[in-house]
Amino acid sequence: MSLPESPFSCLCLQFLFSLSSALLFPSYWFIDRLLSCAVFTSIERFHRPGLRFLCLVLGVPLFLLLFILSLPLGFFGFLFWAPLQKLRRPFSYQNSVKTCDVPEKILEGDCSFIFISANLCLLPDGLARFSNLHHTQRRSLAISRLLCSPSEPAQNNCEDKVPMCSTEDVLPMIEIPYKIKRDASAEGDMPFEVSTVFPQNADFVCLQEVFDGRASRKLRHCLGSTFPHILYDIGPSGPHGCGFRFFRSGLFLASRHPFMAAKYYFYPNARGEDALASKGLLCVKVYIGMTKQKQKIVGYINCTHLHAPESDAVIRCDQMSLLLQWVLDFQSQYSEDGDLVVFDVLCGDLNFDNCSTDDCMEQKHQLFSVYKDPCRDSAGQDRRGTVGTLLRWDCLYHEAINTPASLKRTLDSEAERRLYVAPPLPEGIDGSGAHWTGRRIDYILYRESDSLLSLAVNKFQFITQLAGLSDHVPVSMHFSISLPGGSSPVNNDTTIPH
């Protein structure tokens, strides 16, 4: 059942890879510092002119010189690092619990699960500044602590105090208890919630844009005690096909439940800045437990980050078509007779929303006839109570959104959302009819099928605890499954319709 932890087949290759990475690190760090001295966040541009001057006059020449001096060492490391990428598995696995030490879980009745999905923008510091975020290492440490201790107050170290624009009264949130079912009643309202803290006892955390290696280590160190099973460093890097990938996929999956199988699929059609990273789809089969009748209970998790440039709708649609085929291939390959499949979830940053007219192609894709989006009524229309998850990059340090409490107040008010949440595309088009959502590009979707147990969504949350630490609002889905009481095996046909 367990996956190999090292991405290499032998310790010798692992040692060579670690050595070559260490030789490359000085060049990587100096060029990152050089960019950090040349690119400024809104705080630094408008509130720290003296620091800007020192960085440009002293920092840029210093780090440029150090980078040039480090190049021979970096080149020597690259000679080993690049060919080793061809021998590396496309992910690493951190397993904090040995299988033999874990008692067998016998499950019956109702089971509940909590998924979290978040884009953290943990790029190297110099590149994160293009999204108006800085101090990647500090942010990664703060985010790690918040994910481990959801009730802990956020420390975002924001110093920009920009006056809020005048707004209208806060609109009340819809609080209607509702469970999604596989019938016509599923078109009603459901309980959406804007929460200032992450849910406690989450089962799975799917993260995007964990590109920086040191930030990934901080996340693994902190999350390891709560989530013993972590997949990281996902995707290839270095020479790949006809190009060169400077970054892996940025995907990061933490789980309380052990992984039975995992596979990474690489999107071949990226272009522009997205061609610098090896974005793709991570498919994972997780082990949940056993029924009293010794039937294995499993689930499927699919994590992705689609193409980012707004004008490339065709590329995103092609990636979604590939995604559906790959999910089918993975589940066909790793399904076993007698498996009781309790969920099939797709989560990640899809880089389009359900209210922009520019995103109409993606909104009507077949993906939404296979996977259900609990936040949308139909293509182009979100449910009332949903909010956008992409914040305006130039407003990240405004006092209206730089703390969890103030961001919650802003998201709860439609008038203030219009000021601080990224608008539908093209700008000037309201979208979503009378209810203004903004760009909701972070998704948790689930599949409904006669071959799966009935799933009831109990709550969907938009979480503000990372205010000032990311330009995205994390999302969380709480759902429950009723396990069958009889001993008859459940149909294990996981076929996804074409």
pLDDT band at 148 (very low <50, low <70, confident <90, very high): confident
pTM recorded for the entire structure? 0.89
pLDDT of residue 237 exceeding 80, the answer is: yes
Give the integer Cα–Cα distance in Å for 4 and 17. 17
Q: Residues 283, 315: contact at Cβ < 8 Å?
A: no
Average pLDDT over residues 82-106: 82
3-class DSSP string for the chain: CCCCCCCCCCHHHHHHHHHHHHHHHHHHHHHHHHHHHHCCCHHHHHHCHHHHHHHHHHHHHHHHHHHHHHHHHHHHHHHHHHHHHHHCCCCEEEECCCHHHCCCCECCCEEEEEEEEEEEEECCHHHHHHHCCCCHHHHHHHHHHHHHCCCCCCCCCCCCCCCCCCCCCCCCCCCCCCCCCCCHHHHCCCCEEEECCCCCCCCEEEEEEECCHHHHHHHHHHHCCCCCEEEECCCCCEEECCEEECECCCCEEEECCCEEEEEEEECCCCCHHHHHECCEEEEEEEEEEECCCCCEEEEEEEEEECCCCCCCHHHHHHHHHHHHHHHHHHHHHHCCCCCEEEEEEEEEECCCCCCCHHHHHHHCCCHHHHEECCCEEECCEECCCCCCCEECHHHCCCCCCCCHHHHHHHHHCHHHHHHHECCCCCCCCCCCCCCCCCCCCEEEEEECCCCCCCEEEEEEEEECCCCCCCCECCEEEEEEEECCCCCCCCCCCCCCCC
Averaged pLDDT of the chain:
87
pLDDT of residue 150 exceeding 80, the answer is: no
Average pLDDT over residues 492-498: 53
So what's the pLDDT on residue 1?
54
- Assess whether 472 carries a catalytic annotation: yes
| Residue with the larger pLDDT of the pair 127 and 450 | 127
Phi first, then psi: what are they for 114, rounded to 5°? -125, 125
pLDDT tens profile 311-356: 999 999 999 999 999 999 999 999 998 899 999 999 999 999 999 9
pLDDT of residue 488 exceeding 90, the answer is: no
> Which tokens go with 303?
């994590």
So what's the pLDDT on residue 460?
97
pLDDT band at 210 (very low <50, low <70, confident <90, very high): very high
Catalytic site residue from 307, 365, 472, 478: 472
Give the integer Cα–Cα distance in Å for 179 and 148. 28
**What Å distances lie between residue 480 and 147, 178, 342, 354, CA to CA?**
22, 12, 9, 26
- In this structure, is the dihedral angle defined by the CA atoms of residues 384, 385, 391 and 396, taken in order, positive or negative? positive
Average pLDDT over residues 415-428: 90
Residues 238, 137, 301, CA angle at the centre, nearest 5°? 60
Residue with tokens 């510091």: 125
pLDDT of residue 402 exceeding 60, the answer is: yes
pLDDT tens profile 7-66: 998 999 999 999 999 999 999 999 999 999 999 998 888 777 777 888 899 999 999 999
pLDDT of residue 188 exceeding 80, the answer is: no
